[in-house]
Amino acid sequence: MSLKVLKFGGSSLADAEHFRSVAEIVKSDPARRYVVASAPGKRMSGDSKVTDLLYKCYALACDDEDITEVFDEIKARYNSIIEELGIELDLTEAYEKIRFSMLHNSGRDYVASRGEYLNAMILAKYLGFDFIDAKKVVFFNEDGTFNAERTNDVMRDALSTREYAVIPGFYGSMPNGTIKTFSRGGSDITGSIVARAASATLYENWTDVSGFLMADPRIIDNPKPIKTITYKELRELSYMGATVLHEDAIFPVRYSKIPINIRNTNSPDDKGTFIVPETDEISDYIITGIAGKTGFSNITIEKAMMNSELGLGRKVLQVLEENNVSFEHFPSGIDTMTVVVSTKALQDKRADVLAGICKNINPDNVFVEENLALVAIVGRGMVKAKGTAARIFVALAEAGVNIRMIDQGSSELNIIVGVDANDYVTALNAIYKEFVK
């Protein structure tokens, strides 16, 4: 029997008009039983997401500054939704509790989580569904990692007694009962968790674009939609900046191989993108999609005879580990080795990392180059296909873009190129044009 879990993103629940569209979508199919809600997002460009306003309140409260103006803005967002929808719901007490907590050292995550908490309460009331507080059904371990099994057991029990329910996304609770959130965009993960616990036949992720597109629509004009994409391809693309779905949203549904369908709340008849465990479907192009991010740095280490020095790579990575900096890529030559890291993560640790490398391996030279952008070209069609890399390099060369790093995953599912951040947009456009247009 068909059972669908739906997650609506911030822009899909930004105002009363969107709530009406959401209700229409949910009510049009009785199999649409469990709904995960995000906090209200931007209503138009230049607007604020409620989550950002909550973080702002928290920062003001920490600095002992007045939160009234920002807090009133948040309340006004919810109140206008409630009033325009004409629902009987008085959140005065909830607001007071949140305001009090903000002023009395409640955690940052608690404050941020209230965005989804309040929005889910409103949506549950509007739909006539039960409300399940995520703190009672989503759990983290002492070390802050997600407790998948306990969550699945408790969530499954909670859902089994309710035919229709709304669950706030983004947060859960720590063993001591305090609130913890996933990273930004984490309501996608909650949707996936609910889909797994409900043994859903489909997880519909409703957003403001008609599916996963072959490139970021903010950079490439009118990119082509992707009909079907595998979990693995999606991981590569979302990790590399295709933010339409959180990169960790695959894990909970992976167990039961539940497909995810990305859909557009503003254009509900569009079929969107299907994200599936595996597929034989041949995509229209060799590549499935392109994504990228700026904000990376290269740490390059030079040492004569490096190739024959046992344990050298380990010693370099050990320095990063000790400084809590994770690495993205690790391309090497015979006497050189480069570690690509996030510039932000390296920021305050740069001197310690360089000193550690000098001490650990005594290199001839070590230096950092900033301003690197990474572009990932991803596609199951690339596996064993000849000439894909050549086409990428020629396209970049013809666009006048110098390649600073190349990395091909051993699965052949992706090729990642590092370019100067100033060339980022040119590089994306050149590669897209080469493969798609």
Judged by CB under 5 A, which stretch of 1-9, 98-106, 232-240, 406-414 contacts Mg ion?
1-9
**Residue number with CB closer to ligand ASP (169 or 356):** 169
Residue 35, amino acid? V
**Residue number with CB closer to ligand ASP (10 or 272):** 10
**Residue number with CB closer to ligand ASP (95 or 171):** 171
Q: Does 216 help bind ligand ADP (rule: CB under 6 A)? A: yes
Q: Which residue is nearest to Mg ion (CB)?
A: 185
* Angstrom distance (rounded) from CA 373 to CA 403: 10
Q: Does 169 help bind ligand ASP (rule: CB under 6 A)? A: yes
**Residue number with CB closer to ligand ASP (43 or 224):** 43
Q: Does 241 help bind Mg ion (rule: CB under 5 A)? A: no
Number of residues that bind ligand ADP (CB under 6 A): 20
* Angstrom distance (rounded) from CA 274 to CA 173: 31
C-alpha distances in angstroms, 411 versus 338, 378, 382, 407?
21, 11, 10, 12
Helical segments of 14-166, H only: 16-27, 50-62, 68-85, 92-103, 108-127, 148-160
> Residue 367 class from Cβ within 10 Å (0-12 exposed, 13-18 middle, 19+ buried)?
exposed
Judged by CB under 6 A, which stretch of 181-189, 279-287, 291-299, 338-346 contacts ligand ASP?
181-189
* Angstrom distance (rounded) from CA 389 to CA 377: 10
Residue 381, amino acid? G
The site partner of 51 among Mg ion, ligand ASP, ligand ADP, none (C-beta below 5 to 8 Å per kind) is: ligand ASP
Q: Does 185 help bind ligand ASP (rule: CB under 6 A)? A: yes
121: tokens are 């309460």
Judged by CB under 6 A, which stretch of 4-12, 169-177, 340-348, 376-384 contacts ligand ADP?
4-12
Q: Does 207 help bind ligand ADP (rule: CB under 6 A)? A: yes
Comparing CA positions, the residue from 14, 113, 428, 11 lying closest to residue 242 is 428
Query: Using CB under 5 A as the criterion, which residues of the chain lie in contact with Mg ion when the complex forms?
Result: 9, 185
Query: Using CB under 6 A as the criterion, which residues of the chain lie in contact with ligand ASP when the complex forms?
Result: 9-10, 38-39, 49, 51, 115, 169-170, 184-188
